[in-house]
């Protein structure tokens, strides 16, 4: 009997999930299209190219729509079963809502795990290609060149200062490099007219090099046409304008990016918060299933409308709280880890509370 009930509720849930997913994916696609339709028309972008952008956005829209679709499907399924008095016999037979909803919660956990894999394997690459194609169609090319650069390298022992970084040529103009020992004392200073990236290190041109003598504080001056050493190996992307997005990188790339920003002394809190949020967002379908199991048991009338409004309202609260805490984490008011996981903890607490006090 238990297996039959599990199959019954899962069938009802999956049907509602499919309907909700189609609706919310369509809604996200329409929002994305109308956000740019004016520029598409102004630039006379071919319809085939626009459709390709929308197709590349499809995996991302599915990823964004899954949590709210799970919330809608669970609350709608349980609400309909309550309104048709189908659960009265179940609860009268001694089966609690906790046991009856276990199959939905297990499925929610599986959806969370599958969503994390889907995000990492498919969504990131398709979203990156979608953004690149959209920038090309809208003629909004990004410039990674950067003026007035100051970067730390080699575990903060080397300081690079340059008037300009040319991203296309991987070239630094008017460079000052200061090398320090572990105690922060000056070891070497390099003044160069320019520096070029040679694959694994920087090569300086028109160099005036000052080195501290081992037995005194005096500096020894030497001139070089070119000068390079393996320790000057800070990667060019560290000098570039910060236009890269964590949501377009796989986890390994994103962690490397955050660590390179941290090592270079550049702002990294936003990137680290976004990285933590990727892990936190993967738990959202399970949280929505837990939350909706308690909410769905309270709906008896206008179940479809009530479920839809409940889904949208809770989704708004969840995403607004994420946005606020993200801003607090970026500003330094809270740690990035807290900024990403606090909404998850709050919704988990509320979900457990509603689940324990659900009507049975």
Q: What mean pLDDT is predicted for residues 38-54?
A: 91
pLDDT of residue 162: 92
What residues form DSSP beta bridges with 179?
158, 188
User: How far apart are the two ends of the chain, measured CA to CA in Å?
Assistant: 18
CB 15: neighbour CB atoms within 10 A? Answer: 13
> Taking all residues of the chain, what is their mean pLDDT, rounded to a whole number?
83
Q: How does strand 171-180 pair with strand 219-227?
A: unpaired
Better pLDDT: 332 or 244: 332
For residue range 253-286, list pLDDT tens digits in order.
Answer: 888 878 877 776 777 888 899 899 999 989 989 9
User: What's the pTM value of the predicted model, to 2 decimals?
Assistant: 0.74
Give residue 114's pLDDT band: very low, low, confident or very high (50, 70, 90): very high
Q: What count of residues does the chain have?
A: 360
Domains of the chain, CATH where assigned: 2-139+272-356 (no CATH), 146-239 (2.60.450.10)
Q: Residue 6 and residue 62: Cα distance in Å, rounded?
A: 26
Please tell me the distance from the alpha carbon of residue 143 to that of residue 157, in angstroms, as a whole number. 29
Number of H helices, E strands in the chain: 11, 6
pLDDT the model gives residue 308: 62
**Strands across the sheet containing 146-153:** 146-153, 158-166, 171-180, 186-197, 202-212, 219-227
């Amino acid at each position: 009997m238990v297996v039959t009930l599990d199959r019954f509720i899962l069938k009802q849930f999956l049907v509602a999930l499919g309907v909700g997913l189609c609706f919310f994916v369509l809604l996200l696609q329409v929002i994305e299209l109308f956000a740019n339709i004016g520029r598409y028309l102004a630039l006379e972008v071919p319809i085939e190219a626009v459709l390709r952008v929308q197709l590349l956005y499809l995996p991302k829209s599915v990823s964004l729509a899954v949590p709210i679709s799970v919330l809608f499907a669970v609350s709608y399924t349980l609400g309909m079963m309550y309104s048709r008095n189908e659960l009265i016999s179940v609860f009268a037979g001694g089966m609690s809502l906790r046991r009856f909803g276990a199959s939905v919660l297990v499925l929610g956990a599986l959806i969370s795990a599958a969503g994390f894999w889907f995000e990492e394997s498919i969504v990131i690459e398709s979203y990156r290609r979608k953004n690149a194609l959209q920038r090309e169609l809208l003629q909004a090319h990004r410039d990674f060149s950067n003026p007035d650069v100051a970067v730390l390298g080699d575990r903060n022992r080397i300081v690079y200062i340059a008037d300009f970084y040319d991203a296309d040529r991987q070239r630094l103009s008017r460079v000052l490099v200061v090398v320090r020992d572990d105690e922060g004392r000056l070891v070497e200073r390099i003044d160069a007219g320019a520096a070029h990236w040679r694959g694994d290190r920087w090569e300086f041109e028109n160099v005036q090099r000052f080195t501290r003598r081992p037995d005194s504080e005096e500096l020894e001056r030497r001139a070089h046409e070119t000068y390079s050493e393996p320790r000057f190996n800070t990667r060019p992307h560290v000098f570039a304008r910060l236009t890269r997005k964590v949501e377009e990188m796989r986890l390994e790339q994103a962690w490397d990016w955050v660590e390179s920003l941290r090592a270079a002394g550049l702002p990294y809190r936003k990137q680290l918060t976004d990285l933590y949020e990727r892990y936190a967002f993967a738990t959202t379908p399970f949280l929505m299933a837990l939350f909706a199991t308690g909410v769905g048991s309270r709906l008896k009338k206008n179940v479809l409308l009530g479920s839809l409004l409940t889904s949208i309202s809770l989704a708004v609260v969840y995403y607004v709280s994420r946005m606020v805490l993200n801003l607090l984490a970026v500003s330094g008011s809270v740690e990035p880890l807290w900024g990403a996981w606090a909404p998850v903890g709050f919704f988990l607490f509320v979900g457990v509370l509603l689940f324990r006090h659900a009507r049975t």
